[in-house]
């Protein structure tokens, strides 16, 4: 059986304890490989290696850093299909979605490679004569990168590539459900020419490896994507140490369907947003807010479309929806079906664990639609993270926007309408970090900031220039070329008003 070691200081190593854990295919139960199970000592060794490598990497010219990332992007592009197939086996998403995941990493890596020649600062006029004033970006230090399993190549690339191009070094802890994909990404960066110690890889539980990264004084920057409770813990541990923390947390995203919407287009957007990646996206549409005038028609079309979705192994071309990640997730998702019924909602389709034939070998949940849902119900407020969505009826645009905003999260929202006035009102009033018009709630481009409001995060953004802002410090620089001491003119005379004729 294949074994996947850790990467510390430029060497592939076993864990200090010698312990291992298995990576499992969630569609079949197949063991894909044995992985080194790291602990606190392994994390500390990785941090020490990253700290030692930092000075040399930050002094490496940024265009040179960009050349290494460009090679990494080329390797990702060459191996897109093999990585996507591995992703379908280790994480479960259908192959077409896995290809999209890898493409996100390709796009981000190319984009950040280009930023090696565009780490723009500022030049501004000084208030004193013969003085030059500017602001430049500086790398910060070691970045602790803690990532989830649902986008196991894209999300690490969104964090690692901007950190590296900015001159930081990295300690990377991938999710324990997708360690082989973490290994694959780091192996590729090594092949692209990343110097020893600049990127380090440690697998293991959050309670040991994660805590060591959060607590260590030599890790000034933390970037984390995961659940809200875990994010609150990350912030709590990091706060006394004044670490810079980026949190990308949950979502309770809604698609609004107005009475003038193209319903066929809306149904396709809902199905893709709610059931793509088996609903295991922070941007998944877990609410459908529909105008009373078109609710019945939309429901009829939606139920028919959902019933036609085919569950199965994501490598099979006929599969529409793959498995969820593990048994714990499967049980959590099913518990919300019982919660919905107890609160007075109804199950229009789905609501069951799928156990027919080959599906019994994996973790499959039937695509589920709740109806008769009220905005205050738990299924309309809490993140379920599975192939489940709820229909909520409203009577107006104002009510739809209010229902959309009446949750603790604020990541993504969408509206289907043919009315330009309605669209722009929604763009203004929907309180989410992403707003889509006549499109589902998922999908983003690497040159735009990605993130949410309220409890979806802590205000920092991934991707685009926003990522560079997070991974760099500003340094203001003054150069006095007068050759003599100058004092700031504190008491300035008021400018003379022009004489009135």
Instruction: Provide DSSP, 423-440.
Output: HHHHHHH--SSEEEESS-
- Residues 290-334 have pLDDT tens digits of 999 999 999 999 999 999 999 999 999 999 999 999 999 999 999
Please indicate, yes or no, whether residues 195 and 327 belong to a single structural domain of this protein.
no
Identify the domain containing residue 114 by its residue range: 3-249+457-478
352: left (phi over 0), alpha (psi -120 to 50) or beta: beta
- Within 91-153, residue ranges assigned H as helices are 95-114
Task: Report the number of distinct structural domains present in the chain.
Answer: 2
In a domain, 297, yes or no: yes
The helix/strand/coil state of 394 is strand
Please indicate, yes or no, whether residues 364 and 312 belong to a single structural domain of this protein.
yes
In a domain, 497, yes or no: no
Specify the pTM.
Answer: 0.95
What are the helix and strand counts (H, E) for the chain?
14, 22
The CATH number that applies at residue 242 is 3.40.605.10
Handedness of CA 388, 393, 396, 400 (dihedral sign): negative
Please indicate, yes or no, whether residues 85 and 223 belong to a single structural domain of this protein.
yes
Please indicate, yes or no, whether residues 303 and 158 belong to a single structural domain of this protein.
no
List the one residue out of 108, 83, 107 whose CA is nearest residue 95.
Answer: 83
Phi first, then psi, for residue 85 (nearest 5°) are -65, -40
| pLDDT class of 217 with cuts at 50, 70, 90 | very high
Q: Do the strands 285-291 and 388-394 form a parallel or antiparallel pair, or are they unpaired?
A: parallel
Beta sheet of 199-201, edge-to-edge order:
11-13, 6-8, 199-201, 169-173, 142-146, 221-225, 244-248
| pLDDT class of 498 with cuts at 50, 70, 90 | low
| pLDDT class of 501 with cuts at 50, 70, 90 | very low
pLDDT at 490 over 70: no
| pLDDT class of 485 with cuts at 50, 70, 90 | confident
- Residues 4-41 have pLDDT tens digits of 999 999 999 999 999 999 999 999 999 999 999 999 99
Please indicate, yes or no, whether residues 377 and 273 belong to a single structural domain of this protein.
yes
Non-local (6+) Cβ contacts of 127 within 8 A are 488, 489
List the one residue out of 258, 249, 223, 250 whose CA is nearest residue 238.
Answer: 223
The CATH number that applies at residue 314 is 3.40.309.10
Q: What is the token pair recorded at 170?
A: 């990295």
In a domain, 445, yes or no: no
Q: Do the strands 221-225 and 409-410 form a parallel or antiparallel pair, or are they unpaired?
A: unpaired
pLDDT score at 270 = 98
In a domain, 218, yes or no: yes
Q: Tell me the helix, strand and coil percentages in the chain, rounded to 5.
A: 40, 20, 35
Residue 345's alpha-carbon distances to 300, 335, 342, in angstroms, are: 17, 14, 7
Report how far residue 279's alpha carbon sits from residue 367's, in angstroms, rounded to the nearest whole number.
9
**Which of 383, 405, 437 is a domain's end point?**
437
In a domain, 499, yes or no: no
In a domain, 183, yes or no: yes
Compute the mean pLDDT over every residue in the chain, rounded to the nearest whole number: 96
pLDDT at 288 over 70: yes
- Residues 328-349 have pLDDT tens digits of 999 999 999 999 999 999 999 9
In a domain, 501, yes or no: no
In whole angstroms, how large is the CA radius of gyration of the chain? Answer: 25
pLDDT at 178 over 90: yes
Report how far residue 280's alpha carbon sits from residue 121's, in angstroms, rounded to the nearest whole number.
38
Q: What is the token pair recorded at 197?
A: 């110690």
Question: Is 90 among the residues known to form the active site?
Answer: no
- Residues 136-160 have pLDDT tens digits of 999 999 999 999 999 999 999 999 9
List the one residue out of 450, 457, 446, 418 whose CA is nearest residue 434.
Answer: 450
pLDDT score at 340 = 97
pLDDT score at 460 = 94
pLDDT score at 497 = 62
Please indicate, yes or no, whether residues 322 and 403 belong to a single structural domain of this protein.
yes
Please indicate, yes or no, whether residues 193 and 316 belong to a single structural domain of this protein.
no
Q: Do the strands 122-125 and 244-248 form a parallel or antiparallel pair, or are they unpaired?
A: unpaired
pLDDT at 63 over 90: yes
pLDDT score at 484 = 85
DSSP per-residue codes, 161-190: HHHHHTT-EEEEE--TTSHHHHHHHHHHHH
Phi first, then psi, for residue 163 (nearest 5°) are -65, -45
Report how far residue 72's alpha carbon sits from residue 66's, in angstroms, rounded to the nearest whole number.
10
Say how many Å lie between the first and final Cα of the chain, rounded. 94
pLDDT score at 443 = 86
Mean pLDDT of 263-282: 98
**Which of 437, 465, 486 is a domain's end point?**
437
Mean pLDDT of 377-386: 98
| pLDDT class of 454 with cuts at 50, 70, 90 | very high
Please indicate, yes or no, whether residues 233 and 260 belong to a single structural domain of this protein.
no
Residue 253's alpha-carbon distances to 313, 388, 484, in angstroms, are: 27, 12, 61
List the one residue out of 423, 416, 441, 421 whose CA is nearest residue 265.
Answer: 416
Please indicate, yes or no, whether residues 230 and 258 belong to a single structural domain of this protein.
no
Q: Which of 190, 248, 383, 462 does the annotation list as catalytic?
A: 248
pLDDT at 500 over 60: no
Please indicate, yes or no, whether residues 176 and 315 belong to a single structural domain of this protein.
no
Please indicate, yes or no, whether residues 35 and 104 belong to a single structural domain of this protein.
yes
pLDDT at 189 over 80: yes
Please indicate, yes or no, whether residues 173 and 259 belong to a single structural domain of this protein.
no
Handedness of CA 394, 399, 404, 406 (dihedral sign): negative
In a domain, 447, yes or no: no
């Amino acid at each position: 059986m294949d074994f996947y070691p850790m990467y510390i200081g430029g060497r592939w190593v076993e864990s200090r304890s010698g312990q291992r854990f298995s990576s499992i295919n969630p569609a079949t139960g197949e063991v894909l490989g044995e992985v080194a199970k790291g602990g606190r000592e392994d994390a500390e060794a990785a941090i020490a290696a990253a700290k030692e490598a930092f000075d040399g990497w930050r002094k490496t010219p940024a265009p040179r850093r960009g050349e290494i990332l460009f090679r990494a992007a080329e390797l990702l592009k060459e191996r897109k299909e093999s990585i996507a197939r591995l992703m379908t086996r280790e994480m479960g998403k259908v192959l077409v979605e896995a290809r999209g995941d890898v493409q996100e990493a390709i796009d981000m890596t190319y984009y950040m490679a280009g930023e090696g020649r565009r780490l723009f600062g500022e030049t501004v006029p000084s208030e004193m004569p013969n003085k030059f004033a500017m602001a430049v970006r500086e790398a910060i230090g070691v970045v602790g990168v803690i990532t989830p399993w649902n986008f196991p190549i894209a999300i690490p690339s969104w964090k690692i590539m901007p950190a590296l191009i900015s001159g930081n070094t990295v300690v990377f802890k991938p999710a324990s459900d997708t360690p082989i994909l973490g290994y694959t990404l780091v192996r590729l960066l090594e092949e692209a020419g990343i110097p020893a110690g600049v990127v380090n890889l440690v697998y293991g539980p959050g309670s040991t490896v994660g805590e060591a990264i959060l607590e260590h004084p030599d890790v000034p920057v933390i970037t984390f994507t995961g659940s809200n409770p875990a994010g609150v813990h990350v912030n709590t541990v990091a706060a006394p140490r004044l670490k810079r923390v980026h949190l990308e947390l949950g979502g309770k995203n809604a698609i609004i369907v107005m009475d003038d919407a193209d319903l066929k287009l809306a149904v396709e957007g809902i199905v893709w947003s709610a059931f793509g990646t088996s609903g295991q996206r922070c941007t998944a549409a877990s609410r459908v807010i529909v105008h009373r005038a078109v609710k019945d028609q939309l429901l009829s079309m939606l139920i028919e479309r959902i019933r036609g979705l085919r569950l199965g192994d994501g490598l099979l071309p006929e599969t529409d929806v793959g498995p969820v990640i593990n048994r714990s997730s499967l049980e959590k998702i099913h518990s919300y079906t019982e919660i919905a019924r107890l609160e007075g909602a109804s199950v229009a389709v789905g609501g069951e664990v799928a156990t027919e034939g080959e599906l019994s070998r994996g973790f499959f949940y039937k695509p589920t639609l709740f109806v008769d849902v009220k905005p205050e119900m738990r299924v309309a407020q809490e993140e379920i993270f599975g192939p489940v969505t709820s229909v909520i009826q409203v009577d107006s645009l104002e009510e739809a926007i209010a229902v959309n905003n009446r949750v603790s999260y604020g990541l993504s929202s969408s509206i289907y309408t043919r009315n330009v006035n309605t669209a722009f009102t929604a763009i203004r009033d929907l309180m989410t970090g992403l707003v889509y018009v006549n499109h589902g709630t998922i999908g983003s481009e690497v040159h735009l900031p990605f993130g949410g409001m309220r409890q979806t995060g802590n205000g920092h953004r991934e991707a685009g220039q926003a990522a560079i802002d997070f991974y760099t410090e500003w340094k203001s620089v003054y150069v006095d070329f007068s050759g003599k001491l100058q004092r700031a003119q504190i008491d300035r005379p008021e400018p003379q008003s022009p004489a009135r004729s």
